[in-house]
Amino acid sequence: MADSDEEYVGDVTEDEDDLQVTRGDNPRAKKRKQRGGAEWELSRTWETLVEGADGTISSTVEGLLEANKRKRLLKDTTPLQRGIIRHLILIIDLSQSMSEKDVRPTRYLLTLRYAQEFVREFFEQNPISQLGVLGLRDGLALRVSDMSGNPTEHLTAIQALKTQDPKGLPSLQNGLEMARGALFHTPSHGTREVLIIFGSLLSSDPGDIHQTIGTLISDKVRVRVVGLAAQVAICRELCTKTNGGDETAYGVALNEQHFRELMMDVTTPPAAYSEKESASSLLMMGFPSRTVEATPSLCACHSNPSRGGYLCSRCNSKVCNLPAECPSCGLTLILSTHLARSYHHLFPLINWVEVPWRRASRSSACFACGISFPPVPPEDQWQVAESQTKGMSVSSRYECTACHSHFCIDCDLFAHEVVHNCPGCQSKSADPTSSLRISPTSYNMADTQLFERIQAYAFGADPEFANGLAFVLGHPETPASEAEMNRDDDLVLHAKCFFYARKEQLSSPVDFAAFKSWLGKNTTESVQTSTESPNAPGDGNGSNAEPAYPSSFAHIVELITTGQPIPGIQEIPDTVLTGHDLASEKPRRRKPWEKDEGDSPAETASAAP
């Protein structure tokens, strides 16, 4: 028998008014239907499945998977100034709400697993940053691991949490206060960030959390929250106020994959908002090399005996691993590769564009991995295929706008998420030495005439060039000498090309690489011509005579012993220094074997040095 009685609804507040249950049509459902549903809802994709030529829907499923992969890549790649030296505190909810099993195996175990992956990825993307881990349990904040740049310490501490069970209630205020204290003494050139993994719908705080939020704002601490249950008002307010009004700092996980994506988004350094925050500053760092000692010695960081380690560039204290801060003098010690791995955050790899069928015939396989692309269908099927799935390339090809190479979706993911470089651009980049290997046929008549004019120009008689070259060579107080202007090294040749282009007001600069190659070619030909000319038939004026160089080493010795000049060797006259007219007052020191005729043996011994 159906219940015809009306449901009892007691006094409710205005906030709960929207939660009343009625038997009529739900106005919220109508509004959601009008605006097309929430952003995370799929719009009945099972109704748009299209069978392939083989009668299966595998192509449609692959398209949806490819679109999901592609969605992760379509982010803003505008180069922004970011803080690559970061100080981040990871706060993990260890309360009883983390024992829920809405994600597998439980929220608690999945969070610990993703936290370990986050630590590895964080130090992979930010090798010169530091991280600390806190926990929220029983209304208290627990220190899981101290702030450090060694990921092994954090991984070990998080792994130890798996032996404990979640219990009690969390306290956001206590966790934020402990995080603020850990970040208070961090240097101003680095960022101060907090990431909270929050699985509860409440916070058991001892005081006013709004005062804590104000303190975080004054200390320039940015807070990001990843929710596992539902959106909480205080978490939204916390993220919005500490991130300059950016509401994207707070996200609620929809599933396991979305949970991981929200955490991995934090590995990208935040952009600098204010001009003062983005001001450039110099930071002293040391770049030590690894040394292996013959005998073990204690390291300054852990006091453990070891043979290998890195010696501080300032105080020679030994540390085990890099990056690290010297325990003795506080100098930041890193490797050059650490800076190189942080560089891609400042200049990210641009997004590759989807290739339509009309341009798909340019490639038949992926440029990177070599996997074959689908064949190009007839032209009458292009429009139908392009309207099936949005967010993916209908031809399974993605093109780099710089080198115009085509790649598959997996190489697209690998290039943007791992190597952060385009394989096509790297392989097609010019060889640094290729400019020196220009073939003689690459010179046109205009280039040859220009190079001949540069070679014939009297640089030695131009005082303007002499003064300019003196600045380049590092002695601006005296003009460059004729010997310096006749040098054929790259520095002087660069200066000549630049000076001649400005002197003659050329429309384009002189190609230095081509000029140097042409100059080397002409010098080689002139040397060969001068070498072959003595053997050529002459006109009897003495040009056919053999060179007067000594024929053997014995001949050279004979010339030296007889005091005759040696042909081919330049005689440099002695240079007499002037300005030393004062006679020396100190007597000449005698050799040990020198003695005067009237000196006694004792006096001779005492006079000897």
* Residue in the structure block whose two tokens are 């993307």: 125
Under the banding of pLDDT at 50, 70 and 90, the label for residue 514 is confident
- The residues, ordered by sequence, that sit 6+ positions from 313 with a Cβ below 8 Å of its Cβ are 286, 287, 288, 331, 333
Q: What angle do CA 162, 165, 169 make, to 5 degrees?
A: 125
The pLDDT of residue 570: 67
Give pLDDT tens digits for 338-351: 777 777 777 788 88
Range 203-231 average pLDDT: 94
- Judged against a pLDDT cut of 60, whether residue 590 lies above it is answered with yes
> Strand 191-198 to strand 86-93: parallel, antiparallel, or no bridges (unpaired)?
parallel
Nearest 5°: the CA angle 431, 437, 440 is 145
The DSSP symbol for 365 reads B
- pLDDT tops 70 at residue 1: no
Q: What are the distances in angstroms from CA 599 to CA 211, 290, 593?
A: 98, 64, 13
Q: What is the mean pLDDT of the chain?
A: 77
Q: What's at 39, amino acid-wise?
A: E
Question: Is 42 a residue whose pLDDT tops 80?
Answer: no
Instruction: Name which of 186-190, 400-404, 519-523 the model is least confident about.
Output: 519-523
Q: Which residue has the tokens 């798996």?
A: 162
Query: Does residue 16 surpass a pLDDT of 80?
Result: no
Write down the residue that tokens 């630049």 correspond to: 498
Sheet holding 406-407, edge to edge: 353-354, 398-399, 406-407
Per residue in 564-583, pLDDT (tens digit) is 777 777 666 666 666 656 66
Higher pLDDT, 309 or 488: 309
- When mean pLDDT is compared across 141-145, 191-195, 223-227, 350-354, the lowest value belongs to 350-354
Kind of pairing between the strands at 140-148 and 305-311: unpaired
**Token pair belonging to 153:** 């310490």
Q: Which domains does the chain have, with CATH numbers?
A: 73-267 (3.40.50.410), 285-341 (no CATH), 353-377+386-428 (3.30.40.10), 435-527 (no CATH)
Terminal Cα-to-Cα distance of the chain (whole angstroms): 130
Cα within 13 Å of Cα(228), Cβ side: 29
**pLDDT given for residue 237 in this prediction:** 95
Kindly tell me if the per-residue pLDDT of 545 is higher than 60.
Answer: no
Distance (Å, whole) CA 512 – CA 214: 60
Once rounded to an integer, what is the mean pLDDT over residues 263-285?
73
Helix residue ranges, H only, 474-552: 482-485, 490-503, 512-532
Q: Which residues contact 50 (CB under 8 A, 6 or more apart)?
A: 57, 59, 60, 388
